[in-house]
Amino acid sequence: MNLNHHIAGMPAGYLFAEIARRVKEYEAAQPDSRVIRMGIGDVTRPLAPSVARAFADAALGMATVEGFYGYGPDGGYPFLIEQIIQHDYASRGVSLGMDEVFVSDGAKTDTAALQELFSADATIAVTDPVYPVYVDSNAMAGRLGRFENGSWGRLVTLPCSFENGFVPELPKERVDVLYLCYPNNPTGTVLSKAQLQVIVDWARANETLIIYDAAYKAFITDPDIPTTIYEVPGAREVAIECCSFSKTAGFTGVRCAWTVIPKELKGRLPGGGSASLNTLWRRRCGSKSNGVSYPVQKAAAAIYTETGRQEIANTISYYQENARLLLDTLQKTGLKLAGGVHAPYVWLKTPGGMSGWDFFDYLLKTASVVGTPGEGFGTSGQGCFRLTAFSTRENTQEAAARVFDAINKL
Ligand code: PLP
């Protein structure tokens, strides 16, 4: 059989495999070292008790006649969608219809799958550095041309760096789709409402679709920073938003998320005419998915109870305190820093112009601390490094102190 040569032609999924290889080699050579992992963006705190209880009750209920549920409604159970609309949107002055929210098993699943709605030759733009899923999913669909000398022939990249304050300069050429992620992974930066308004206005003028990934919105501490792009006037006409319970409520292993596709959102069809993206996505999901399990959706709905909200807020505060600790300690090194305030990621410029990988090796060998080299997220990540706040308090304190000492030795 003939294979999808676009997948075969992808660069290897190298970043975390290479990190694991280097750490394994180091631990084998230094068996007494106590390595602290501050690299991968998985959470470490347990599920909120009220969430676990709702999960278990629903699972046990499935063994009874009255509590048994088979296939759920397309797009998610109304009991969950209602809570999402009320707490994540109405509370921010945004009104959404029940049929504009689609529950799924992950923001990764949805941000990767949404490209199925685009034409084969649609042009794609991403900010750089970037969460790699947006790029890889379009590359696998054959939309990005060839990968040569470290970049894709047909991908438009918008550099975000310390130099431009992590505010992307909009492309000169027209693009069909722009992926945005705020709070940003990996840089931990956010955009103000005014900055987002500029992008939304540009998207409206250019008929560009924005895919807005708000997986880290629970970390936003300033009430003036939008937690949803729909706080920005005009966004309903141009933006799809993907959100997740993964980082908000520790669901990385439970799996539940949602995507919003407003009814106003339209795209052009070949030969003229237009179609609603909401309709196309519902059609696509109906054919490709039977949704998320009933106990998982019950668990997700439990985060919106009074106790659930308090419990998940405590967990977010715990990670925010870790981020503050990292920032406070690193600030004393004089390095250039970003993020860590409205996001669980601290992004730093490596000392002495080291590459991210050289700094990775240096920290591993000098401090037994693992972070993520910026190069793994794109060209503009060169010479940068990401540390996460998803560790335990003890490990964060210890890692911050060790990194501080290691930098001072340079
Ligand atoms: N979006 C971003 C920006 C992420 O960093 C991640 C996970 O690290 C995801 C989405 C994945 O979310 P989910 O666990 O819901 O698939």
CATH T-level topology, domain 14-43+309-408: Aspartate Aminotransferase, domain 1 (3.90.1150)
Cα–Cα dist 202/262, whole Å? 18
The highest-level CATH class for domain 52-304 is alpha beta
User: Confidence band (pLDDT; 50, 70, 90) for 40?
Assistant: confident
Per-residue confidence (pLDDT) for residue 78, from 0 to 100: 98
**Ligand 1 centre and the CA of 45: distance in Å?**
17
**Ligand 1 centre and the CA of 215: distance in Å?**
6
Q: What are phi and psi of 347, to 5 degrees?
A: -115, 130
Mean pLDDT of 326-334: 97
Whose alpha carbon is nearest atom 2 of ligand 1?
A: 215
What is the rounded average pLDDT for all residues in the chain? Answer: 97
Per-residue confidence (pLDDT) for residue 25, from 0 to 100: 96
Mean pLDDT of 289-312: 98
**Ligand 1 centre and the CA of 187: distance in Å?**
14
**Ligand 1 centre and the CA of 33: distance in Å?**
31
User: Confidence band (pLDDT; 50, 70, 90) for 176?
Assistant: very high
Per-residue confidence (pLDDT) for residue 11, from 0 to 100: 87
Do residues 110 and 285 lie in contact, with contact meaning Cβ atoms separated by under 8 Å? Answer: no
Per-residue confidence (pLDDT) for residue 386, from 0 to 100: 98
Cα–Cα dist 115/100, whole Å? 18
For residue 13, pLDDT beyond 80: no
Indicate the SS3 state at residue 2.
coil
User: Confidence band (pLDDT; 50, 70, 90) for 277?
Assistant: very high
- The tokens 């956010």 sit on which residue? 190
User: Confidence band (pLDDT; 50, 70, 90) for 333?
Assistant: very high
**Ligand 1 centre and the CA of 252: distance in Å?**
8
pLDDT tens per residue, range 229-254: 999 999 999 999 999 999 999 999 99
Count of beta carbons in the 10 Å neighbourhood of residue 167: 16
Whose alpha carbon is nearest atom 12 of ligand 1?
A: 107
What residues are in contact with ligand 1 under a 6 Å CB criterion?
41, 106-108, 131, 181, 185, 213, 215, 244, 246, 252, 257
pLDDT tens per residue, range 111-146: 999 999 999 999 999 999 999 999 999 999 999 999
Whose alpha carbon is nearest atom 5 of ligand 1?
A: 185
For residue 198, pLDDT beyond 80: yes
Whose alpha carbon is nearest atom 1 of ligand 1?
A: 215
User: Confidence band (pLDDT; 50, 70, 90) for 14?
Assistant: confident
User: Confidence band (pLDDT; 50, 70, 90) for 281?
Assistant: very high
**Ligand 1 centre and the CA of 108: distance in Å?**
5
Q: Give span(s): CATH 3.40.640.10, the chain.
A: 52-304
Beta bridge partner(s), residue 127? 158
pLDDT tens per residue, range 346-403: 999 999 999 999 999 999 999 999 999 999 999 999 999 999 999 999 999 999 999 9
Best residue among 247, 254, 319, 372 to mutate for probing ligand 1's pocket (most ligand atoms within 8 Å of CB) is: 247
Per-residue confidence (pLDDT) for residue 15, from 0 to 100: 87
Best residue among 40, 105, 108 to mutate for probing ligand 1's pocket (most ligand atoms within 8 Å of CB) is: 108
User: Confidence band (pLDDT; 50, 70, 90) for 9?
Assistant: confident
Strand-pair category, 209-213 with 239-244: parallel
**Ligand 1 centre and the CA of 386: distance in Å?**
16
Question: Which uninterrupted H or E stretch holds 274?
Answer: strand 274-276
Enter the pTM of the model.
Answer: 0.97
Q: Which two tokens stand for residue 173?
A: 């050429």
User: Confidence band (pLDDT; 50, 70, 90) for 160?
Assistant: very high
**Ligand 1 centre and the CA of 408: distance in Å?**
34
10 burial level (CB within 10 Å; 0-12, 13-18, 19+): middle
